Each structure stands twice: as structure tokens, then as C-alpha cells.
Structure 1
Amino acid sequence: MVTTQRIKEFCQTVRLKSTQVFIVAGTCLLTLLVTLVCIGLMTRYEVENEVANVADVDYWKDKVASTQKIWYDKGIEELNEALRSPSAPNYPRNVRIFLVQGIDGADLAAYRFPARDLSQGNTNFAWDYFPHLARLKNSCSQQIPCQVGSVPRALWSGIPLDRVPRFQPDCRESINETDTPLSVLRQAQLVGLRTGFVTTQRITGSTGAALGNTNSNYECDERMPLGYSKSGCQDIARQLISGETGRSLNVIIGGGRQMLNSLVPKTNSDPVDELLCDSSDGRNLLKEWRNHKLEESKISPIKFEFLQRTDELESLNASNFDFLFGVMANGDLSGNAKAPSLKLMVERSLQVLKKRGQGYLLIVEQFIKSDMDKRMQLQILNETLVNLQPDRDTLTLVLMTNAIYPKPILDVSEETETIIHLADTFNEAEFQIQQRLHQMPSESLLFAQGPKSSIFHGVQKESFLAHAISHVLSRSKTNP
């Protein structure tokens, strides 16, 4: 009887332990399944977002010579860094565009190396680390003659170069046209973004004329043919100051005082450029801009400032202002020995543009003439970019082009300018030399970094730049 009782107790114990074992085994199996699902989801996420671990990219270290290993190690680090960069799904709140005129791919390749000392190796510029790169075709080289003044209008309006409107002598109808092509700057203003234009050239140059939606080929009244004013035509300077785009600019800094005012101060450091247009109709457009802002402030309180000297710009607490207008030279800034640096102008511009809850578009033009030290100019741009504060909400573009060379008297392309020097060499007619120069590789390089920078890729038409920027601006965030 006692034996039977013990057998029953033993059986119950074994049964209980079997149940526990089953529960434990089931828990382990469920944990394993959950773990496998998580690993699968993480792997899929990494593939979709191009996220990689340092160990994901490797090479046969045991088969690589010791003299190669150090370079392979560095190359793998760079590759891993590239793979870690996810394609951001969000659109940028802000867009910064740096336009460099006078530099092509050959210049960049040459000036990455320190002067006369190749032992230091190849030094990358800030834009060399941008993850995306596109090339913009130079259709100007394929036209005889090339209307170079139309190239900026193609870049910033998105209209092909051969379709850019030609301005007629009678401006009465075109001035009041409601279907005038809008530049990306005006489009940004219409969607509520703050806007700025900074140039080391004069603000009435071809870039300023295109961005400001002007419809003239003449920077000031002096160069306009007789009868143009009577037919209702206005020069670029007057349209830029009185037009909606120019008046709505939160920041505009550059040269060109002698186009805006008929009487300008002349100093040894900042003489009047005799090769440029010099207004003679008694105008004072700088005063007109200030008076217009005073009228605006009576309706809606705004703070604005007008500057003409570098020390004024240096001491300005720019973040307190809604509008900033700086005219820092009679002609181009290169003609004024006391002109502000590119870095200072960009810093103050961003201080004005950055407002809580509102995005911005800033376009900066660095004009590099053929007689300038290109290496030094690239270093100036590099320093300016390096000192910009990192911003995950900002798309930054750097456009290098050697295809646009606006001249003081007549706008001509680099290809057209070269004809003067090649005639003696080839002893050919101008038309034949133009045909020869069609083969010149002068495509523009576009470096991109930030949200949606991946849309800038491959070889594109000049008009692609405006189309891409317009798309990004239309989806830009305006929330804080």
C-alpha cells in the first residue's frame, strides 16, 4: 500500500516537471522566433537605407601587400562612411547655393594640390566631401554667336537657352506682362521663404538681372539706346530696386553703386570703373530703397539697414534685422581694396535670413576673373563653407562653371573671348575657330549635400537646376 502511494507521488512529480520543461522549451522557441524576426527587419532596414557597419566592407588583408594595406584601410573607411549615409526622406527647410563663375573641372583638379609641393599630396576641398555630383551641359558653346547674357536666365528660370525670351525695343507691353518667367528666387518668395542674394560682382550683373526677373539687357541708363526710355523701357538697376523681386529680397549685398546712383564717392581704394555703365540721369536708387522700407514699416513694423562699408557690416548685429542692403563698391567688389570678405557677407546674410518657423533661399555668387589667383579664390570659398554651421535641414549646392564670362561692355563667353587670341595661331576665319571651339569641354560641375541632394546626379541640361530647386522649394518645411 505504501509502495503504491509512493509510485503515485513519483508520477505526479515527473508530470509536473515535464510541464515545466515544456513551458521553458516553448519560451525559448518563442524568443528565438522573435529574435529572428528582429534580425530580419533590421537587415531589411539597413539595406533599404544603405546603412552599413564598419565590418560590412572588407578586403583580403592577408593577400594585400604591406605597402598597400595602409591605403586600403583608408579607402575602406571612406567607403563605409559613404554607405552609412542614408537617403533622407525629408525635404530641406533651407537651400544655400554657391555659384562660382570662372572655374572648371581642370582648375579643380590642379588646385587641389598645394602650390609647388606635390609631396603634401592631394588636398580635398569642402565640396569634395559632398555625397552627390551632377554635370550641367554648356549649350552656350553650341551656338554661334552665344548670347551669354541669356545663360543665367536659363539656369535660374528653367527655360532652355534657345527659348529664353529676347527683349524687344518696345518695353511697354513686356513690363506689364503677367506671364513673365519667374526665377527660383521669386518662386521662393511666393511660397513664403526668406531670400537673399550675395555677389562679389555688381548686383546688376547677369546673375542679379536673371534672379531679379528684370527684362532688360542694360545695367543702367547710360548704355540704353536713344528712345528706349520713351518707349517704357527700364534698365536692370531700376527694375531690381523697384520690382517686386528686388524689394522682397531680405538680403542683397554686392557691388554696383555707380549703376544705382548718378553721384558716387570716388576714392583711391574704390574708384569708378570706367569700363562699366555709369548712371547719368540723376538717380538715387539707394535712397529710393530706403524710402520704400520706411513706408513699409508704417504698415507693418520691420527693421532694415543699408550699408556701404566693411566696418559697418562687421559691427552689425544682423540677426535683429528683417532686411539688409549692402552696396560695397562702385563696380565689382574686386575693384574695391576695402571690400568685405565673402565669409563675412555670407555670415551676416545667414544671420538675417534665419528666423524661427521660416525657411530661406540664399544664392551666393563668387565671380573669378581670368586675371585673379584662382587657387586663392577657391581657398576663400573653402574657408567660407567650412565655417558654416552644420544644418540637417539645409540643402547646400556648389556650382562651378567656366562657361559664363560677362564683360563690362559686351557679354561674351570664354569661347568667344578666346577667338581673339587664337586667330593668329590658327590663321583661320572666326567662323572656323568657333566650330573648332565647339569641342571645348566646359560643362559645369554641381556638388550637392543635404536633404534631397540625391536628385542631383548624372549629366543634365542647364534648365535642370531651376527645375530641381523649384521642386525642392515647393516641398520645403516652414514649421519650426
Structure 2
Amino acid sequence: MSPPRLYLLSLLLLLFLTASLAASASRLGPARGVTRTHTPHKGQDHLDVMGHRQPKSPKVAVVEDMAFWNERMQAELRTQLEKTEIVSQAKNIIFFLGDGTSISTLTAARYLKGLRTGNFEHEVMAYEKFPYSTLIKTYSADKMVTDSAASATAYLSGVKGNQQTIGVDVNVQLADCDAMNIPQFHTHSILRNFQDAGRSTGIVTVTRVTHASPAGTYAHTAERHWESDDDINDDGGDPDLCDDIAEQLVLGDTGSKIKVIMGGGRQKLTPKHVDDPEGGDGGKRDDDKNLIETWINQKKLLGNASYVWHRNDLLAVDTTNTEYLMGLFDWGHMGFKVDNDVSNPSLREMTKTAIEILQKDTNGYFLFVEGGNIDLAHHLNEYRSALEEAVEFEAAIEQAVSMTDPQETLILVTADHSQPIVMNGYQERGSDVLDLGDYSDVDGLPFTTLMYTNGPGYRGEVSGLRPDPSKEDYRDPHYPGAATVPMIESNHAGEEVILYALGPHAHLFTGIHENAFIPHALRYAACVGEGLHYCSSLEV
């Protein structure tokens, strides 16, 4: 056979063998030692709403074979075996509250962060490194699914109350002004317990500082919406008989002793004739009281006090010489992270400042930090906004961990209730959780990975077909995810939420507990308030 013909036959044989091997690999799936990849949806390479470039071809970047998982899980087991209970008095407590942060929200936020860091599903959030966790039941005294007010009463004071009431027990019905003024019906928060023990306290939120969750630390009211006297007047009530929440913050027994107050809600503390520093509407108060000025005048008699309303002013605060700080950064709630309001500091920045001021107290401190916009975004079915807020919430937690000693500071991370968001579909590993996830095997249309069971994202059907999300602007930061039941705003969900704990007596938070259990365990750990105390056990 001539050399040219021999060469041609050899080439054909080589091509045949290559094709056969490729076909076999396709039938058998990924072989040991082969990295799995997937093809994302068309157009996935883009800048997301926060300016992060998303990869065009996300990959599972490691070989996840038997050796990989055995090694990884053995390391996890060793970490678990090395856990040691910290049995000492908690000098400080930092209570992180992700409002409306369901477990689905936490999972989706981890996937979102993992996509950006390149860790994908292997991303580990700051609170996931805490050694102890528990599931928390959230129902209120009168509802299977709680609101934030009743929940705050439970997880801060240890007593379940009725829906929409704050800092009062079950004897106070909604809008019952007379009952709310009976001291025997008042519940006292863990923040108040710290004050009674001579320790410093602070609250940080991105909602109005008079909103339900922060109000749970200092207020006693029969109606969560009575944030100013104007709100009580609109309800046909008498603000002279029922103190509004803003008054209780500045003039109340508990509120007036809080050293650090940061969040939004200037409108609830200023009169209607007082212009807001950012323009637009003035205050909301009918009684002509300027509670911001009252706070400034009171605190300047006690020590070095600062009031700020802009991020730049907060960053300029000399925390080493500041004893009292009020920062009100918005007329209403502070803006969503996706809207990049330059006047608003981040939750991480506010948390850092608060700790710097409070930690000067050698007796210790209690700090309440709320990621409140997670819930507000979920109510609108805006899962993109909600997840950005959840990632921001985690950054604040990471900041607090870096500034504190777990031997003396107990840090909790939990939620007051869930929200009706679900993560669904069989999307490939490394996918963007904010993207289209899968296709229906009934109508053949795609659907988003994240959806809601109720809320304003309900679309209905057109000509017997559900809307095709691929034809909508689902990358808009305020895109409302699909919902199955139409609502003006979503109702909460009622399943358990998770709590993570780090520090002295964090081991008390294992198993499953009522939300009302939380402050009882905190009082024990910190030796404040009534009930069992760790310090008492040392005296026996």
C-alpha cells in the first residue's frame, strides 16, 4: 500500500476512535476527575443591579468526586467535634434581627453572594460559622402567622402578645388605649433589663426607628401604627391619653436611656411646619413637639451628644468622644440598597459606629440591629431588592464579629417571621438564583427560580396562558416576582425561622424553641432581669 493511502486510512481510523470515545462519554456522564460545567441562559453575561459582572459560563470549579466529599465532610466533622461551650457571663449582647428573613431568603442570599465570589454553592455566610443554631416558632397570642409587632414582644421580652401590639401581654387588645396604660400588662425587654443593670444600650435599623421591630425594645402600645400623635388622631384616639411610640422613644422610661439610635423616620419626630433637611414633606406631628430637638437638649446635659442625618456626617463622628448618638437618615424608611441613596449609610457602617460608642462602657452593652428592608422588599415581592438587603445584613454581622470577643459577647442572628418566598426548579449548579430557573413541562414556558405564594406579583392568565417571564424585565431591581394569590402586599408566612448563636451560653440555642424563650436565655447568660441567672448558679 502506498504511503499516501496508508496515511489517509490511519487518519480515518483516528477520527472514528475519537468520535466513539466522545459518544461513550456522553452516555456515561462525567467521568471521575472531570469538572462539570453547564450552559447558562442566553444573555447571562451582564452587570447585575449592584454593578457586579456575572460570569458568562459559571462552573463548579472543583472536582466533586468521592475523595472531595470524604475529605470535606471529615473536616466538617472535626470542626463539630472541636466545639467548646463558652460558660461565662455574657458582658455584651448583639441581637441581629433579619425582618422577614425566611430560610429560603438565607439560602438564596448565599447563592447570590457565592456567584459573585466564585464560591458558588460552597459559599459560607458569616452567621453559618456560628457554632450553635436552633429553629424558632413564631406564632403570636392570637394568630398562627405573626406580625412584626407581636413577634418583637415575644423575642425581646419573653411574653407572647396579640397581633399589632408591642410591649404588652395578651390582656391588651388591639387599639385598647386604657388597657395599654396599665403597668401590670407591660412587658419589659432585654434592652430594658440591661439598662436596669447599669449597662449601655443601642438600636440600629434601616426602617423608621419607631417601626414595630425597634419599638419592641422600648415601647408599650396597643397599636403598632401609633408612631406619632398624628397617627393616633387619624385613628380617632386621644394622644393625650395614649403616648405615641416616638414620644416613648425620646421621653419614655426606657427609650430616653438608649444611648445610640440610628435608622430612618424623621417624620414621626418633627412637627408639620418643620421642613425636612432633604426637602419634600415636613414632619407629621400635630402637637408641635420637635422630639429631635428635645433629644439633643436632653443628651447634651448628660454628656457629649451628636445628631446626624447624612452618611457623611455619621462617618465623621468621633466615636471616642461621643456618648450619645442619634442618626435619622431618612424622612421615612431608609432606601433600598439597590437604589444607592448616597445620604444613607450602610447597615454595616451604622453597626460599626454603634459598637465603637457602646463598647466604651466597661459594664457591657446590648445592641439591637435590624435588617428591616428585607421584609419591606418581600412585601412587594421584589426578591432582587430583598436579597441585596440580606447580603448587606450579613456584612453587618461580619463587621460585628470582627469587632468583638466571643468570650464576652453573645451574638444572635435570627428573624421575627418568614415571608412566602420559595426557591424552585432544577437549575444547574452555578446558576444565578435571580435568573430564570427552569421550564414548565405543562405549558413549556420558563419560570424564575424565586417566586411568592401571595402578593402584588400575581399576574393572572392571558388567553389561558400564564405570562412568560422571559419577555418581562426580570433583571429590574424592583421586578416583582410571580405570585399565586393577588395581594396589595404579601402576607407573612408561618413556618419556623432559624437562629444562629455565638459566644457565652450560645449552646442554649439548640433544638427547637418558642420565640419567647430567647430573652429568657439571654437574661440567664447576661445575669440581668428576672428568672434564672448563670451568676446565681456560681453562688450555690
TM-score where L is the length of structure 1: 0.71
8 Å CA contact 1:94–1:476 kept in 2: the answer is: no
C-alpha change, 1:365 and 1:148, in structure 2 (3 Å) is closer
Pairing 1:186–2:192 present = yes
Equivalent residues, number: 386
- Residue identity in the other structure for 1:322: E
The counterpart of 1:345, out of the listed 347, 350, 359, is: 350
C-alpha change, 1:121 and 1:147, in structure 2 (3 Å) is closer
- Residue identity in the other structure for 2:304: K
Query: Residue 82 of structure 1: CA displacement?
Result: 2.2
Number of the residue aligned with 1:129: 129
Query: Residue 67 of structure 1: CA displacement?
Result: 3.5
Number of the residue aligned with 1:285: 291
8 Å CA contact 1:151–1:404 kept in 2: the answer is: no
Number of the residue aligned with 2:203: 197
Number of the residue aligned with 1:409: none
The counterpart of 2:227, out of the listed 219, 228, 235, is: 219
Pairing 1:385–2:400 present = no
What aligned pairs does 1:254-269 form with structure 2 within 5 A after superposition? 254-262=263-271, 263-266=273-276
Number of the residue aligned with 1:41: none
8 Å CA contact 1:182–1:213 kept in 2: the answer is: no
Pairing 1:473–2:526 present = yes
C-alpha change, 1:241 and 1:338, in structure 2 (3 Å) is same
Query: Residue 204 of structure 1: CA displacement?
Result: 0.5
SS of the residue aligned with 2:344?
coil
The CA deviation string for residues 111-158 of structure 1, in whole angstroms up to 9 with x for no partner, is 322449998433110111111111111214982786653221122111
Superposed CA RMSD in Å reads 3.6
Paired with 2:232 and 2:296, the residues of 1 have a C-alpha distance of 26
The CA deviation string for residues 391-425 of structure 1, in whole angstroms up to 9 with x for no partner, is 121111111344389xxxxxxxxxx9937878979
Number of the residue aligned with 2:107: 109
SS of the residue aligned with 2:85?
coil
Query: Residue 266 of structure 1: CA displacement?
Result: 4.4
Query: Residue 177 of structure 1: CA displacement?
Result: 2.5
- Residue identity in the other structure for 2:285: S
8 Å CA contact 1:202–1:333 kept in 2: the answer is: yes
C-alpha change, 1:144 and 1:132, in structure 2 (3 Å) is closer
Paired with 2:91 and 2:321, the residues of 1 have a C-alpha distance of 21
Number of the residue aligned with 2:93: 95
Paired with 1:222 and 1:438, the residues of 2 have a C-alpha distance of 26
What aligned pairs does 1:120-199 form with structure 2 within 5 A after superposition? 120-140=120-140, 143=143, 149-161=149-161, 163-166=169-172, 171=177, 174-175=180-181, 177=183, 180-199=186-205
Paired with 1:362 and 1:312, the residues of 2 have a C-alpha distance of 21
Paired with 1:199 and 1:326, the residues of 2 have a C-alpha distance of 10
Query: Residue 79 of structure 1: CA displacement?
Result: 1.8
- Residue identity in the other structure for 1:247: S
Paired with 2:364 and 2:345, the residues of 1 have a C-alpha distance of 26
SS of the residue aligned with 2:371?
strand
Paired with 1:190 and 1:178, the residues of 2 have a C-alpha distance of 18
148-157 or 225-234: which moved more?
A: 225-234
Paired with 2:499 and 2:281, the residues of 1 have a C-alpha distance of 34
Paired with 2:486 and 2:334, the residues of 1 have a C-alpha distance of 34
Pairing 1:446–2:447 present = no
What aligned pairs does 1:274-313 form with structure 2 within 5 A after superposition? 278-295=284-301, 297=302, 302-313=303-314
C-alpha change, 1:404 and 1:120, in structure 2 (3 Å) is closer
8 Å CA contact 1:216–1:236 kept in 2: the answer is: no
SS of the residue aligned with 1:121?
helix
74-83 or 189-198: which moved more?
A: 74-83
- Residue identity in the other structure for 1:316: V
The CA deviation string for residues 36-63 of structure 1, in whole angstroms up to 9 with x for no partner, is xxxxxxxxxxxxxxxxxxxxxxxxxxxx
C-alpha change, 1:456 and 1:272, in structure 2 (3 Å) is farther
8 Å CA contact 2:152–2:416 kept in 1: the answer is: no
8 Å CA contact 2:97–2:368 kept in 1: the answer is: yes
Query: Residue 327 of structure 1: CA displacement?
Result: 1.1
Number of the residue aligned with 1:418: 454
Paired with 2:417 and 2:185, the residues of 1 have a C-alpha distance of 31
Paired with 1:175 and 1:142, the residues of 2 have a C-alpha distance of 21
SS of the residue aligned with 2:205?
strand
C-alpha change, 1:119 and 1:180, in structure 2 (3 Å) is closer
Query: Residue 184 of structure 1: CA displacement?
Result: 1.1
The percentage of counterpart residues that share the same residue type is 24
- Residue identity in the other structure for 2:155: L
Paired with 2:211 and 2:348, the residues of 1 have a C-alpha distance of 21
Bigger fraction of residues in helix: 1
Q: Which of the pair has the greater relative contact order for Cα pairs under 8 Å at 6+ separation? A: 1
Unaligned residue ranges in structure 1 (runs of 5+): 1-64, 406-415, 426-431
C-alpha change, 1:80 and 1:337, in structure 2 (3 Å) is same
Pairing 1:333–2:345 present = no
Paired with 1:439 and 1:174, the residues of 2 have a C-alpha distance of 26
The CA deviation string for residues 349-387 of structure 1, in whole angstroms up to 9 with x for no partner, is 011101252111111001112235233222222222223
Number of the residue aligned with 1:464: 517
8 Å CA contact 1:140–1:403 kept in 2: the answer is: no
Paired with 1:152 and 1:384, the residues of 2 have a C-alpha distance of 20
317-326 or 139-148: which moved more?
A: 139-148
TM-score where L is the length of structure 2: 0.64
SS of the residue aligned with 1:224?
helix
131-140 or 148-157: which moved more?
A: 148-157
C-alpha change, 1:271 and 1:400, in structure 2 (3 Å) is farther
C-alpha change, 1:90 and 1:403, in structure 2 (3 Å) is same
Number of the residue aligned with 1:78: 76
The CA deviation string for residues 254-277 of structure 1, in whole angstroms up to 9 with x for no partner, is 11100000245447x67549xxx9
Unaligned residue ranges in structure 2 (runs of 5+): 1-62, 163-168, 421-451, 462-484, 528-532, 536-540
8 Å CA contact 2:86–2:505 kept in 1: the answer is: yes
- Residue identity in the other structure for 2:415: M
Paired with 1:229 and 1:142, the residues of 2 have a C-alpha distance of 26
